Amino acid sequence: MLEDGAADGGEPAPAVARSAEQGLGRLKQALAVAADLPAVTETLAHACVWMGLVGWALILYQEDGTHLFPCSVAGLGRLWQPPLRPLATTESWPVTRAALGQECTGCDRTGPYPLPPGGEAAAWSALPLSEGQGVLVALRPGTMPFNEAEQEFLRHAAQLTTRYVPHMISTAAAPAPTPHLRDLHQGAFFLDLATDTLDVDEMFARLHDLPGPGRYPLTRVLAQLPPGDLTDIQQLLGTLRSRHGTYEVAYRLATPADRPRHLQARCTTTGDPTAPPALLCGHVTDTTGETIRATQREEHLREQLRRADRMITLASSAAGATGTSELAKAACEALAVFGADALVLAEAHQGRTRILTTVGYDDEHRAAVTGIALDARAPLTDALREQEPVFTPSHEDLVAAYPHYAATLPRLKRHAWAALPLPLAHPQTTAACMFSFDRPHAFGPSDQALLIAAAALLGRALDRCRDYDTEHDRAVQLQRGLLPAFLPQHPRLHLAASYHPAAPGAHAGGDWYDAFPLPDGRIALVIGDAEGHHTKAAILMGRLRITIRAYAATTSDPAAILRRTNRLLTTDNDTDPDHALLATCCIIALDPHTGQLEYATAAHPAPLMHIPDAVLTPETLPGLPLGILPDTAYPSTRLTLPPGGRILLHTDGLTDTPDTDPDDALHRLHTALQTTAQQPPALALHHITATCLPTPTPHDDSALLLAHRTHT
């Protein structure tokens, strides 16, 4: 039995033990039917998905018993693949020591075998196979070493692999040659270099689509070459005319079926060696089959490398995702090259599916997978209920497994589905993902292993992302709760405010606004942006709002209020520098009767003033952000807001956006404010935010406060 040791920083111990036991069970069953060595490493990658993105290399002894060679790899990107060359057991590498019976583990940039310089760190384990077979290597990119529970799983995997490798080697060995005849499809020819005429036999004529054996001008054969190849062939003929020797020439013929025929000519010059060659004799072999097979092998290798690179990309994106939506988007982008164009993440909740997030689903199709009873038959619910993968390659397969879907086929936008359980840290919670494909998709063993590995990566990242989403929602709710419930009313001043949180995948900030009467009868208009993320930013925002109100009860001077608030925040930062936070702020003291206003800013964007036919940004002397230096001075600016004029306070969430020039964003804000001159303040703010906020996912939160001085 595997030990119940807890995985460092991973799943709880019981979950690790259960995942390991299930993985070994699947591995034993799959190895029993594996047809070759590549199937062994694919099976190993499939069985250990609960450990993350683990790649495998099977490195076996060559016949001489003194060298090791990588016979099969799976799940390893280019950076971590073993070199395709024999490795002498006398070389000092972990795999050579493991081949002699010593288990070797590590987590570094060096690796268990020679790797390209400048690579990334990876955890690895080189495990000896018994009976002198070689070494099994497991490698996981990243800086987290294999823990004890994972290492014990790897040992068991090596023991199981040892049982089946001899069978694989024996079945892969070439049969002993026996006498036989094989048609080489080889034609003979003579080329007179003086007259450029060919004498050919029947097979040569057949390979070149000539009527039959006989004499032909060389130009008749050259006319059958693809136009792009003709220049190269002419250069080769020039060499043959000038130098004696034996040559091999590979060339193609264009065919009516638009499938080039690949041929190889081996020829020798004859005649006086002191004179230019006069005659060329040789034979031609049809190599079309060999060329196609070589191309297919090369494409298969490129596909395997591409898959491994995509999984590495997904692992990196999943590790950096800051919410379930961003996680799902990263997974869909990483697997788009294989045809996946939509993804749903769901969990079981009170006997039904609860959707966590979707990518590529419209409202109709999102509703179709929401709230399904878990005992209903569907790919997603089966994966959730049984915790087993469900692969549906086509509409026909969907109806065969789930006949009740027959009537809905015309409405389905996708043509293939892969529903897979997500391994989570908490066993009482079950979740699954479902990749959808825009065309039928045959899920071969490598596809299934890839998708199961992707689901494992998603499962490992999902818990962290859901915690992030929960904190984001909590911060937004706290922030909204700390904003004023209502704004002061005055017959000569109409106020409106709005707050828009950032997208769930972004950091929730600390933007806030406030408005309240001052002791001298003026109205205070306040806006600010507290540094920090999530709950910390919301708490700091709440503290600053209360502090500003407290100081405003003793003075109506905006600059004095900022000075005192800054001194308090700076003292707090000096007391606990490891958790120091800053804030920007703008305070306006406005007299609704006269329109005279006085304001001061602490590194905050200046307010915008809208007067008839113009939007102005007043010249402002900004001070430092709150919380840096205790004795910072905050200059005051005095203006007059005419009757009918408006003043807009805003945070940088409307003007500091990715891929947008700040001047362009500010100009857009000016224009939006001017075009709403005749609208009530609340409606004007709605238009401004709809025009200026990035959609649909703003990267930062934003706050606005609009004051309109009426004519009466």
- The hierarchical CATH code for the domain 13-170 is 3.30.450.40
Contact in structure between 60 and 68 (CB atoms under 8 Å): yes
Is residue 611 predicted with pLDDT exceeding 60?
yes
Which tens digits make up the pLDDT trace of 267-303?
888 878 888 888 888 889 888 888 887 777 666 656 6
State the span(s) of the chain assigned CATH 3.60.40.10. 483-709
Rounded to an integer, the average pLDDT of 705-710 is 94
Is residue 651 predicted with pLDDT exceeding 60?
yes
Is residue 167 predicted with pLDDT exceeding 50?
yes
Alpha helix positions (H), 553-600:
558-575
CATH architecture group of domain 483-709: 4-Layer Sandwich (3.60)
Is residue 582 predicted with pLDDT exceeding 80?
yes
pLDDT number for residue 184: 61
Q: Which residue has the tokens 């990876």?
A: 122
Is residue 143 predicted with pLDDT exceeding 70?
yes
Is residue 380 predicted with pLDDT exceeding 80?
yes
pLDDT number for residue 270: 82
pLDDT number for residue 621: 82
Rounded to an integer, the average pLDDT of 582-596 is 94
Residue with the larger pLDDT of the pair 48 and 590: 590
Residue with the larger pLDDT of the pair 313 and 287: 287
pLDDT-derived band at 18 (thresholds 50, 70, 90) equals confident
* Cα angle: 655, vertex 658, 663; to 5 degrees: 40
Mean pLDDT of the chain: 82
pLDDT number for residue 174: 41
Closest CA to 221 of 184, 263, 180, 172: 263
185 backbone dihedrals φ, ψ, rounded to 5°: 50, 55
Mapped onto helix, strand or coil, the DSSP state of residue 706 is: strand
* Neighbour-count burial of 159, counting CB atoms closer than 10 A to its CB (0-12 exposed, 13-18 middle, 19+ buried): middle
Share of the chain above pLDDT 70, in %: 83
Q: CA 185 → CA 196, 206, 218, 255, 587, distances in Å? A: 24, 9, 21, 17, 91
pLDDT-derived band at 6 (thresholds 50, 70, 90) equals very low
pLDDT-derived band at 477 (thresholds 50, 70, 90) equals low
State the span(s) of the chain assigned CATH 3.30.450.40. 13-170, 307-464
pLDDT number for residue 586: 95
Which tens digits make up the pLDDT trace of 665-681?
888 899 899 888 888 89
CATH architecture group of domain 186-291: 2-Layer Sandwich (3.30)
Q: Decide which of 3.30.450.40, 3.30.2130.30, 3.40.47.10, 1.10.760.10 is the CATH code for 307-464.
A: 3.30.450.40
* Cα angle: 114, vertex 115, 116; to 5 degrees: 130
pLDDT-derived band at 371 (thresholds 50, 70, 90) equals confident
pLDDT number for residue 307: 61
State the span(s) of the chain assigned CATH 3.30.450.20. 186-291
pLDDT number for residue 461: 73
pLDDT-derived band at 443 (thresholds 50, 70, 90) equals confident
pLDDT-derived band at 478 (thresholds 50, 70, 90) equals low
Which tens digits make up the pLDDT trace of 75-93?
777 778 887 777 888 888 9
526 CB-near residues (< 8 Å, 6+ apart): 512, 513, 514, 515, 545, 548, 585, 586, 587, 588, 649, 705
Rounded to an integer, the average pLDDT of 184-191 is 82
Which two three-digit tokens encode residue 501? 């949180």
Share of the chain above pLDDT 90, in %: 28
